[in-house]
Amino acid sequence: MKRILAGAIALVIGAATWGAAQSLEDLNIQIHGYATQGLLYSTQNNVFTAATSDGSPSWSDVVVNVTAEPLPKLRVAFQARYFLLGTQGNALTLDWASADYKVNDRFGVRFGKVKTPSTMFNEIQDVDPGYLWSLLPQSVYPILSRNTVLTNYGGVVYGTVAPIKELGKFEYRAWGGESIIASTDGFFIPIIDAGTDYPNGLSGPTYGGALHWLTPVHGLMFGASITHDDQTGPVTIPVQGFSGNTLPNPFVIPDFYGKYEHKRFMFASEYERVVVTHEAVFTVGPPGVHSSYLDHRNSYAMASYKVTDKLTVGMYYSNYIDRKAAIGPGNYQKDWVVSGRYDFNQYLYAKAEQHFVDGEGIVYDTRDNRSGLKPQTRLTALKVGVSF
Amino acid sequence: MKKKLFVFLVALVAFASLLSARPYAQVAVIANPSVKATAISKGELSDVFTGASSSLSDGSHVVPVLLKQGAAHETFLSDFIGKSDAAFRTTWRSLVFTGEGSMPKTFNSEAAMVDYVAATPGAIGYVGKGTEHDKVKTLAVK
């Protein structure tokens, strides 16, 4: 219902402003897009539900964006995407669709299906042309389950204030709405592997806030965000014939980050902790409340250097630990990465990246590694992209 | 010997100053006469032209416009914004693809930009100093 309401409001605003505009030219319509094609090759384990140990080209993104600016302070836009990674995606979806009214630099509001402005890179984690890396640090930005955090059906208020000029500026973001995780989402892959299924996915309220301090030191930013989630839905254990529902269990995700950019150099680091208690009651199956816990500590540090106007190189170290999992390669993942990007011109670019992965805590699908997971993997990612 | 070295160093510094002063001598930042400010800092210019801000410190609302290419465009980006053309457009595309902005209006010629800036309240752009821009306001870069 909330989704329908948010969509309807965005549509009404769009239609009203369309009517108010004198001509198509007054709407200032822009069409942009990008397309990427990647190749993944790994040793030892297959990753991202693809047969990467044979070399897999099943990694594509095609995005079309339409933006209209019928009034100086109002922007109405939507973005559609075709995404494929391994067995995931392979469908055309609506990324987001929103109306944005920016009163001034201090206050603006955006609503509809909106990007959730949590963490340092959440809003741009699916915008490949926007950064150097082929894959962002998987500890904080796991590509297969990114849809769970990318957007919400609701709204965002935002702005930049400078109450004391000598302290620099403060960017704030606050959001609230409904979060929906489709049953086909990559988020469920390890859960389904473990024998549990969520046939209707999960959904529920989400809200949070983020604050960025743009310090008086030019290029130095510190930030923090906190996200509150509470998704529920039907749950089954097909092998045993159990079925029931999850119980509401609100959880928060605190996230802290910093970035320093100076001329051709960039350094950034981020830390988040995800503590979730998951509870279910079966209507068909054993009585009582069935609980499981996770406690993820995710972090990374990255640096990049712009060698020339066209060539940028960088490296990062990504670290994931599940404090609740049994000790061994399955409860952690460490990833050393070296990366490069070459911009042939303003439209065409290519990326190359090498991962040295230790541990098997995330990104692997046991169905694609039937002979068992190995503790170490080398992953090569090549990508070419065009944007306009 | 010391005197010669001193003269050489002074000449070197003067030459370096000339080099660093080159872009300021070649590119003019222009604005619609409705913009109250008469000067703009390099930081403000960078914020406005990378979508981080839509107003100047005096409260003037501004809307940036761009040249598609050319010497004035390249010089403006490298010396005022500190980015290559590809990096600059990457910044704007990130705003577009996250729903946070739309690309600034872009012009094929400096004359067309001057005409647009002259006719559009709040518009702010840039042209080579050799291009006629009497009908718009020129902002000094602090």
Q: At a CB cut-off of 8 Å and minimum separation 6, what does A314 contact?
A: A132, A133, A266, A302, A303, A304, A305, A338, A339, A340
Q: Could you tell me the pLDDT band of residue A82, with boundaries at 50, 70 and 90?
A: very high
Residue A272 touches chain B, beta carbons under 8 Å: no
In-domain check, residue B4: no
Residue B3 lies in a domain: no
Give the domain CATH number at B43: 3.40.190.10
Instruction: Give, for B42, the enclosing helix (H) or strand (E).
Output: helix B42-49
* A13 pLDDT higher than 60: no
Please determine, for residue B21, whether its predicted confidence score (pLDDT) is greater than 50: no
B5 assigned to some structural domain: no
Which residue from A32, A105, A346 is facing B85, i.e. has the nearest CB? Answer: A346
Q: Is the pLDDT of residue A73 over 80?
A: yes
* Overall domain count for chain B: 1
Evaluate if residue A98 carries a pLDDT over 90.
Answer: yes
| pLDDT greater than 50 at residue A303 | yes
Averaged over B32-55, what is the pLDDT? 93
Contact B101 A343 (CB under 8 A): no
Give B9's pLDDT tier (boundaries 50, 70, 90): low
Q: Where is average pLDDT lowest: A1-15, A305-319, B65-79, B107-121?
A: A1-15
Break chain A into its structural domains and give their ranges.
2-387
pLDDT at B20 over 60: no
| Mean of pLDDT values over A136-153 | 93
Distance from CA of A292 to the nearest CA of B (A): 35
Confidence of residue A15 (pLDDT cuts 50, 70, 90): low
- Cβ within 8 Å, pair A263-B55: no
CA dist., res. A383 & res. A349, Å (int): 9
DSSP code, position B120: S
Has residue B132 got a pLDDT over 60? yes
Task: Average the pLDDT over each of A156-170, A353-367, B27-41 and give the range with the smallest value.
Answer: A353-367
CA A381 to chain centre: 19
Q: Does A215 touch chain B (CB under 8 A)?
A: no
- Are A32 and B97 a contacting pair at CB < 8 A? yes
Candidates A67, A96, A98; nearest CB to B102 = A67
Q: Is B82 on the interface with A (CB under 8 A)?
A: yes
Question: What pLDDT does residue A330 have?
Answer: 78
Number of neighbours of residue B127 by Cβ within 10 angstroms? 26
Q: What is the pLDDT at residue B31?
A: 97
In a domain, B20, yes or no: no
CA distance B59 to chain A (A): 10
B40 touches chain A (CB under 8 A): no
Cβ–Cβ < 8 Å for A320, A333: yes
B109 is in which domain, residue-wise? 26-141
Please compute the mean of the pLDDT values over residues A128-153 and round it to a whole number. Answer: 94
Residue B135 lies in a domain: yes
Q: State mean pLDDT over B65-72.
A: 94
The two tokens of residue B112 are: 């067309």
pLDDT band at A194 (very low <50, low <70, confident <90, very high): confident
ipTM of the complex: 0.89
Average pLDDT over residues A139-159: 94
More confident: B58 or B15: B58
The rounded distance, in Å, linking the Cα atoms of B23 and A246 is: 63
φ, ψ (nearest 5 deg) of residue A118: -90, 165
| Residues A104, B93: C-beta atoms closer than 8 Å | no
pLDDT value at residue A20? 54
Whether B131 maps to a domain, the answer reads yes
Residues of A in contact with B90 (CB under 8 A): 129-130, 343
- Is the residue at B103 inside a domain? yes
Tell me the mean pLDDT in the region A310-334: 90
Q: Is B10's pLDDT higher than 70? A: no
pTM value is 0.87
Output the pLDDT for position B23. 44
Would you say residue A306 has pLDDT above 90?
A: yes
Q: How far apart are CA A20 and CA B88, in angstroms?
A: 33
Mean pLDDT for all residues in chain A = 91
What is the arithmetic mean of pLDDT over A332-358? 96
Averaged pLDDT, B76-81? 91
Residue B8 within any structural domain of the chain = no
The more confidently predicted of residues B25 and A46 is A46
More confident residue, A28 or A115: A115
pLDDT at residue A10 in the model: 55
* Nearest alpha-carbon partner for B96 in A124, A162, A55: A124
CATH of domain A2-387: 2.40.160.10
Q: Is B101 on the interface with A (CB under 8 A)?
A: yes
Lowest mean pLDDT among A330-334, B9-13, B32-36: B9-13
